Amino acid sequence: MKTTGKSVHTQNFIGVTDMGPQPAPRIGITVTKKVGSAVIRNRIKRIVRECFRTNKSRLPSGMDFHIIAKFSAASQNPKDMLHSLQCLFEDLIRRCSH
């Protein structure tokens, strides 16, 4: 399987994007057990989903986003994590538009 998507690495997340067959943007979230306990993993996923929901209108249609949390994401406070994710989405959009 050949991947044609673009990826962006930040301190706390890895973002991968590719064009999909659907008309609306979609998101996939991966937070492994290495990141932390179930409580921490679920908190990270809630924050990622919230950031996606609030920025969904700005995202290009037909894009698939896959966000992978790194170990350092567990120590971030929610405000900093939201800012980091917004920058990640902007970088992914910028990379795909080229």
Q: What is the pLDDT of residues 54-68, one digit of tens each?
A: 888 888 888 889 999
| CATH classification of the domain holding 22 | 3.30.230.10
Tell me whether residue 89 is in a domain.
yes
Tell me whether residue 77 is in a domain.
yes
Predicted TM-score of the model (pTM): 0.87
Tokens 């990270």 sit on residue: 44
Tokens 């994710």 sit on residue: 85
Question: CA 17, 20, 25 angle in degrees (round to 5)?
Answer: 70
Angle, helices 38-55 vs 78-96, to 10°: value is: 50
Digit-coded pLDDT (tens) for 64-89: 899 999 999 999 999 999 999 999 98
Tell me whether residue 1 is in a domain.
no
Give residue 90's domain range: 6-96
Tell me whether residue 60 is in a domain.
yes
Query: How many separate domains does the chain show?
Result: 1
Tell me whether residue 88 is in a domain.
yes
